[in-house]
Structure 1
Amino acid sequence: MLARTSHFPSRAVVHHKPARSVTLPAKPYSKVKLFAACLLGLALATQALAQVRIKDIADVEGVRDNQLVGYGLVVGLNGTGDRLRNAIFTRQSLVGMLERLGVNTRDNEARLETRNIAAVMVTTNLPAFARPGSRIDVSVSALGDAQNLQGGVLIVTPLLGADGEVYAVAQGAVATGAIAARGAGASVSRGVPTSGRISSGAIVERAIPFQLAGRDRVRLALRNPDFTTARRIAAAINARVRADVAVASDPRTVTVALGGRDAMGFITDIEQLRVEPDQPARVVIEEASGTIVMGANVRVSTVAIAQGNLTIRITETPQVSQPGPLSNGETVVTPRTQIEIDDQRERRVGVLPGSVTLQELVRGLNSLGVGPRDLITILQTIKAAGALQAELELR
């Protein structure tokens, strides 16, 4: 009976409940594996977030926009156009336009007093591979003393390239998106009413020839030149095709040999590859606005910082001393001056340890209670002391 009793439970555990006999001993170990998997997933996610597509940091050489410019007239303004007495070019353009339409106004040119017309410059960018008949947006900007282009219509304006050839023709209603109102004693404005935009306002008349088919190689131009980033791009392309087809020839250019491949399909595959761009240690300071931008690789050697401003405040409170009634005294103004000196002696010396991160650098400088203007001076002084291990760029 004892043997049977000891035998039956073992069979019940092994054959009838195999999941419980396997799962229970492994439960503590599963928590460890789950925690390790979470850490690995977090590390991979962080690395993936730092990577960007090649198409977001590089351009294909030759695939670019071309700038176009033209001179035209905007008509239909409600008395907010150019004064023809002041804007001579507007008057001459108006007379020339009317002559082309069969109206002779040269004999009475001096009597033209309309303020419903304005001379403008029309600018746009011709996209790569734009074909004749396609439409592009244009920007319109006043040349003379026009006050508002709202409600105006741009007359047919040829748009020229750098070679002097006409590549597009613009025409249409101008939309400024600005508000301007003026009364006898006050005026209000929002935005810039003397510049506007015409959506799909130009028709492409001529295409700029550029062919990708039949090329044996293409060049990728980095928007932010860097040796490390260019080499990483070349390595990612070579790993994708499993051949040495990409070479980083300089910090801005990566040359890729097509080797008989379809240019469109190969470039599409290359653009989707992800790399991690490298950033130089750089601090950019815009002194006009007090803006400071620091890169992630900025480091500071061990340095002690003390910052304080001497403030002297002088307050004048003159008092008037008047004589008593029916007396022969004089009214005298007695000056009273109060001088306050704030040397900020409560400010203490702060020490930044060596090789601090960007976050620690900002936290340490903020602990000194300094503003952006003082922070600019501190960074310049740290750079002069040789403790700022980064490039300092002033704009």
Structure 2
Amino acid sequence: MARALHLVVCALVVVSVLGVVAPGTAAPPPRPLCDACGESFEETAAADGVDITVERSTATVSVARNGTATWVVRNRLADSAGVERLRADATLRAEIADRAMWDTEFVAANVSGSVLTMRYREPHFAERSVGGTLRSGEFTDSYGYRNLHGLGADRLVVVAPEGTRVGWSVPGATVSDDGRRMTLTEFENRGFVTFVPDKTALGPLLSLLAVGSRVGPAMGTSLLFSVLFPTGVFALSVGVLGGGLARVGGTFERVAERAGIVLAGFGVLLTGGALLAGGVSLLGGVVAPVFGIGATAVIFGALLARPGVRARVTYRRLLAAGALGVVLAAGTTLVGALAFDQNGLTRSLLTSFPPLVAVFALFPAGYAFGRDNWSLAVATAAAGFALSVLPFGTLITPTSWFSLFIAVLVVAYALALTVVGAPLLVVGMSLAGPSPDEKRPPGEN
């Protein structure tokens, strides 16, 4: 069981990690936004044996109405033998400048005094969108073959096309009073940039529609493959399991009397199995939820061992208990990680918390099954599962093959999670007791 649970959680973490890194896995090595500026240009020149030092870099990006941008990069160079080589050798200068700027067309390079000026053309800097708006994804690596790291320049200015002004700007940028120029001195927050007609009063709305038309379909595809479809699979598997268990009938009366022992035993099995499988170091790893679920199940089992507690059980109270279970399981895991694990709050630990929602949703779902309210039971389980995968689904930038790959992984996770949460489902069904119709005396309507 512990090995199976380990594999289940590993699959979930793989999904979450792949979702986060997907945009950059096929991209080139990290490069600054202006890779013909500053240290990046120094490295390019050094590859040709030209040793230079860039004291200051500025870049101006002038955007045309058709979305084409002209880059003018100015690097002020410290006096050196390398600078003299650039002044004297136009061919060498052009070769270095051409290789320095990725994904653009080199136009020219000249040296005047200590300033090297390079010009580039980028045909697809921005694209047309709704209402005459232009949308640029140049400042985000979430959509496209990019892997951005830093600004590169000391200052970068984007000039809006004639007849337009900056609508949406990059967070942290400053926009001139007339809206024509956006200036960046650092690049930490990514985002789309839009250029809207300068005489319109609907600039914010047009920007929203322009970005939404780009992001919406991609996010919708991501949600379909990584959230909605596997949630449907989970709901179906829980429905089949609940329906099969409901046929057992009287067996649940015996389980109800021992609900506390059953749940506590399940918790001991999970907790002990998790510790035996990976040692205390697992508290910062991918099987962290197994430990938290087990410890919480032991606590719930101790409470349900009391007949007075079992007698007061309702769907709403079990729903609240499920929410409390998520908090307790996360808290138990967190305390264990801080107490035993040298790595502290790792990424794998934090991404292991959402699955707890799906597990403990089966507690009230089981009760609803026991009361013959199948629609409520399936809806409860589906809602818990959807909440557990939603944080990962919204992070994925989908492509056809990648979305299918993610869908297969999350479906496997959904099926395995049904098996893992089956004991909670059984205990929840047993706590429901006889249905209201079964409680009525014969002949009473």
Give yes or no for TM over 0.5: no
Structure number with greater Rg is 1
TM-score by length of 1: 0.26
- TM-score normalised by the chain length of structure 2: 0.24
Greater relative contact order (CA < 8 Å, ≥ 6 in sequence): 2
